[in-house]
Amino acid sequence: MERRKIIHVDMDQFFAAVEQRDNEELRGKPIAVGRDVERGVVSTASYEARRYGVHSAQSIQVAKRLCPQLIIVEPHFQKYKEVSAQLHEIFHDYTDLIEPISLDEAFLDVTENKKGMELGVAIAREIKQRIRETTGLTASAGVSYCKFLAKIASDWRKPDGLTVIHPDRALDFIAHLKVEKIWGVGQKTAEKMHRMGIFTGLDLRNMALERLTHEFGKMGHVFYDFARGIDNRPVVSEWERKSVSCEHTFEADISRNADVTIHLYHTVLELVRRIEKNDFEGRTLTLKVKFLDFQQITRSITADHTLRTKDEILPLAKQLMQGVNFHSHPIRLIGLGVSKPGTPTPQPDKQWTELELDFKPWPETAL
């Protein structure tokens, strides 16, 4: 079976870089792209600002305290979209298997490419050079045989980096990763893993599949595979939404009828808002309940009509909740999702996050 060649391209400090490119007075200075209002949030920070601890999703007010000389720049999203379009024109010269993640990053499957180039690293290097020549900006790229590792590789040598994680060396690479750096491991999951004695990718690899699925449900299988360098997700160039879902984790576990009814009601309202926002049509409603001990159950029901409104969804949600033994088994999370019939159980949207790794990278190797 031919090994896939996956490239992850990620622009460096994208919004900030565009602003510095177009305004020479901003070059070399700490800037944050965002709106300078009381509740403004940093969209992107330049590398000069990051040295002071300024980062994306941070309050503008906090950022200014950390860096008193910080320059706040209003965002110009139309300009960013235009640059993004230029990037995709370059990508399409090599492959049509392109999965955009955001305006400034994408996965490319170049296993079979339009240029007939043998090495993924050669394609990545050429794409980086063309991006610089076309836009005046730098990009970082990662090359590997799967999306999980290509993403990690692109973050490794930022800015203007190029890193390859070769299949023959992937297991050693993963073994040294802190579990916090593995996709899907958030703060609470990491804390639970630490209590289980799991601190690195190697620790995770040594954990039995049965134990991981017992503790983390379906994500346990994902963690099991990632620890072994297994990620069979394809690069999807055309994506159709198959489900809409939401879930609420409670500050305190609930076990009273009134509390469950109230939280179920508010979860339904949130689901309806998401259905309207995405103009989604589905007929299967799925209830997810996670208990105090992290065990969880899912139940589904399919209607003979599209589910869109509170009056259509709430009675079905109550029906699914009947028989759930929460009086002696308190609930810590309730989730609801609507999907097209035949679609796997809806899960909350997941996204890649920026990773900062403390591990010596492998040199560029043929891939």
Q: Give the range of the structural domain holding residue 69, as residue numbers without chain letter.
A: 14-77
At 67 the pLDDT is: 97
Answer positive or negative: Cα dihedral of 254, 258, 260, 265: negative
In this structure, the answer to whether residues 82 and 165 fall within a common structural domain is yes
Residue 315, in any domain of the structure: yes
Lowest pLDDT segment from 20-24, 36-40, 313-317: 36-40
For 112-125, what is the mean pLDDT? 95
At 2 the pLDDT is: 66
In this structure, the answer to whether residues 195 and 154 fall within a common structural domain is no
Burial 154-179 (b: 16+ CB within 10 A, else e): bbbebeebbbbbbeeebeebbbebbb
Radius of gyration of the chain (CA): 23
Residue 326's nearest CA partner among 267, 268, 254 is 254
In this structure, the answer to whether residues 176 and 254 fall within a common structural domain is no
Residue 362, in any domain of the structure: no
Residue 232, in any domain of the structure: no
In this structure, the answer to whether residues 139 and 88 fall within a common structural domain is yes
Residue 54, in any domain of the structure: yes
Q: Which amino acid is at 335?
A: G
In this structure, the answer to whether residues 152 and 104 fall within a common structural domain is yes
Residue 307's nearest CA partner among 336, 334, 338, 333 is 338
- The mean pLDDT value of the chain amounts to 89
Residue 179, in any domain of the structure: yes
Residue 356, in any domain of the structure: no
In the 8-state DSSP scheme, what is residue 12? T
For 290-305, write each residue's pLDDT tens digit. Answer: 998 878 899 999 999 9
Q: What angle, 0 to 180 degrees and rounded to 10, lies between the N-to-C axes of helices 257-278 and 310-321?
A: 140
Residue 188, in any domain of the structure: yes
CATH number of the domain where residue 117 is located: 3.30.70.270
At 354 the pLDDT is: 30
In this structure, the answer to whether residues 165 and 176 fall within a common structural domain is no
Q: Which of 61, 77, 93 is the last residue of a domain?
A: 77
Nearest-angstrom CA–CA distance, 14 and 80: 8
Residue 297, in any domain of the structure: yes
Residue 92, both tokens: 């399409």
Assign residue 213 a region: left if phi > 0, alpha if psi is -120 to 50, beta otherwise? alpha
For the chain, what is the domain count?
Answer: 4
For 264-290, write each residue's pLDDT tens digit. Answer: 999 999 999 999 988 899 999 999 999
In this structure, the answer to whether residues 130 and 209 fall within a common structural domain is no
User: Using 50, 70 and 90 to split pLDDT, how confident is the model at 216?
Assistant: very high
Instruction: Catalytic residue, from 48, 105, 215, 247: name it.
Output: 105
Nearest-angstrom CA–CA distance, 248 and 281: 22
CATH number of the domain where residue 333 is located: 3.30.1490.100
At 269 the pLDDT is: 95
In this structure, the answer to whether residues 196 and 250 fall within a common structural domain is no
CATH number of the domain where residue 69 is located: 3.40.1170.60
Does this model's pTM top 0.85? My answer is no
In this structure, the answer to whether residues 107 and 178 fall within a common structural domain is no
For 63-79, write each residue's pLDDT tens digit. Answer: 999 999 999 999 999 99
Between 345 and 132, the more confident residue is 132
For 90-107, what is the mean pLDDT? 95
pLDDT at 358 over 60: no
At 342 the pLDDT is: 63
At 348 the pLDDT is: 41
For 45-63, write each residue's pLDDT tens digit. Answer: 999 999 999 999 899 999 9
Name the one residue in this structure whose structure tokens are 């009509």. Answer: 305
At 37 the pLDDT is: 83
Q: Which of 55, 77, 99 is the last residue of a domain?
A: 77
Residue 367's nearest CA partner among 101, 84, 173 is 173
In this structure, the answer to whether residues 136 and 158 fall within a common structural domain is yes
In this structure, the answer to whether residues 107 and 122 fall within a common structural domain is yes
Would you say 290 and 326 are in contact if contact means Cβ atoms under 8 Å apart? no
Q: Which of 132, 148, 170 is the last residue of a domain?
A: 170
pLDDT at 200 over 70: yes
Residue 285, both tokens: 């409603």
CATH number of the domain where residue 203 is located: 1.10.150.20
In this structure, the answer to whether residues 326 and 249 fall within a common structural domain is yes
**Sequence-separated (6 or more) residues with CB below 8 Å from residue 85:** none
Let me know if 238 is a catalytic residue: no
